[in-house]
Amino acid sequence: MIADSLVRQFKTIVGDDNAWTDATDLHTYSYDAAVVDPVQPGLIVRPTTSEALGKTVRLCNNNALPLTVRGAGTNLSGGTVPLPGGVVIVTNGMKAILEINEADMYAVVQPGVVTAKLAAAVEAKGLFYPPDPGSQAVSTIGGNVAENAGGLRGLKYGVTRDYVMGVSFFDVEGNLVKSGSRTVKCATGYNLTGLMVGSEGTLGVFAEIILKLIPLPAHRKAMMAVFESLERASETVAAIIADRIVPATLEFLDNFTIRAVEDFSKAGLPKDAAAMLLVELDGHAAQVEEDAARVEALCRSMGATSVRVAQDAAERDRVWAARRAALSALAQLKPTLVLEDATVPRSRLPEMVVAIQRIAKRYDLTIGTFGHAGDGNLHPTILTDKRNHAEWERVEKAIDDIFDEALKMGGTLSGEHGTGLAKCRYLEKETSAGTILFSSRLKRALDPKNILNPGKIIAAKA
């Protein structure tokens, strides 16, 4: 519990209406989208200016109060689960798009800007901000940068990291640190931007972010390829890439996911298909048409039973909206949904799909699989009920096995959801004891009192 006198100091910084301690509010901010036990904070603070944000961080540090920054709380790794009695800093009071520079193709934003709002604002000017996590309608740029979020377009356009030109952030003492610039190139000082992207609120708090924009592609074409065999669908993904075609998006859905999504969204997906691929190509019209014809031919030669090209933008948008609803659709089926994002080199995707099926059978679990197959990033999704202890034990074993399989194939524990609380205990498995030591020393040097989102990325000592 935070003393009233200290709460009053926070209120002096952010205003009486922007600091809360009621039980309901504390409960609301005790969890996020990950399957991690909730933890009740002691105070919620909502700064509305950069100055107030810096002062809030400083006050936390002066009082050794652990703080967790929260954008929309959609992360899937427990990154915004606070410490008991700690402070949650919400960024939805800092949601201004400060600049969209058309001549130099960049945007400057506050951390609380919603991803889809930025994408729409730049699109209105003929520009493109490609990172598009499935949560983009609510997720924030601060959260995307702190998680190095990916999305459906990662295959062709990369992830958030590839668009961050610079960041301004508050260190733990509330000093404003600036890194990067509005220029295409910048070799001044340490690459602190690189360090901060994906740091999950453990090294500093973003106040402003400079993002690269690119020209909006002139033409887009989407298609849906239906398969009677899961293996053939995943082999087709590898075949498309091997044929040197780089679609903007190449998504995979297994039968379980297709049925769940169709029941949820009524988008006209084929419920009896073993698997389907959703492909979108973009770029110059002539190139798109040529690549689309090659993808269609490849799908058919690999055994697709049908390939439907979206006839207009409405049909295309309907299918993508359905795909984006996959997680929500699956979440309705059981009380607990564990969404993993183990990622493998894309040529190993067919093996990984088979391995996941094997693991589901081994532990008698329901695992739906969908994901950004084109970049090897699958989302095996385990449907369960955490209250069923016996089943939950099997779920934990299945997760271990999924990670082991991914690592054996030269993959990674997380393609895009971050480490947070959920995966920190596995970190050494993928990296090394030296990596943990180096990371711990870095953290200690930059945050000696360990107040910046403690326990995320580097596991808290038992």
Shortest Å distance, C-beta 173 to ligand FAD: 15
72 and 140 Cβ atoms separated by less than 8 Å: yes
- When the beta carbons of 13 and 205 are compared against ligand FAD, the nearer one is 205
Residue 380 in contact with ligand FAD, rule: CB under 6 A: no
Rounded to whole angstroms, what are the CA distances from 325 to 206, 319, 332, 381? 29, 10, 11, 14
Nearest to 237 by CA among 349, 353, 380: 349
Q: For residues 131 and 217, give the distance between their C-alpha atoms in angstroms, rounded to a whole number.
A: 14
User: Residues 123-162: x/- map of binding to ligand FAD (CB under 6 A)?
Assistant: ----------xxx---xx-xxx-xx-xxx-----------
- When the beta carbons of 93 and 111 are compared against ligand FAD, the nearer one is 111
Out of 93, 453, 455, 458, the only residue in the binding site for ligand FAD (CB under 6 A) is 453
Residue 419 in contact with ligand FAD, rule: CB under 6 A: no
Q: For residues 190 and 50, give the distance between their C-alpha atoms in angstroms, rounded to a whole number.
A: 23
Bridging pattern class, strands 249-254 and 366-372: antiparallel
Rounded to whole angstroms, what are the CA distances from 11 to 43, 164, 206, 446? 11, 33, 21, 27
Residue 412 in contact with ligand FAD, rule: CB under 6 A: no
Q: Give the strands of the sheet with 336-339, arranged side by side.
A: 306-309, 219-227, 275-283, 249-254, 366-372, 377-384, 336-339
Residue 201 in contact with ligand FAD, rule: CB under 6 A: yes
- When the beta carbons of 66 and 298 are compared against ligand FAD, the nearer one is 66
Q: For residues 143 and 149, give the distance between their C-alpha atoms in angstroms, rounded to a whole number.
A: 8
- When the beta carbons of 116 and 239 are compared against ligand FAD, the nearer one is 116
The interface with ligand FAD within residues 22-81 (CB under 6 A) comprises 32-33, 68-76, 79-80
Tell me the window of 197-205, 224-232, 277-285, 309-317 that interacts with ligand FAD (CB under 6 A): 197-205
DSSP collapsed to 3 states, 201-239: CCCCEEEEEEEECEECCCEEEEEEEEECCHHHHHHHHHH
Per DSSP, the three-state class of 43 is strand
- Size of the residue set binding ligand FAD (CB under 6 A): 37
Residue 95 in contact with ligand FAD, rule: CB under 6 A: no
- When the beta carbons of 232 and 372 are compared against ligand FAD, the nearer one is 372
Contact footprint for ligand FAD (CB under 6 A): 32-33, 68-76, 79-80, 91, 111, 133-135, 139-140, 142-144, 146-147, 149-151, 200-201, 205-206, 327, 416-417, 453, 456
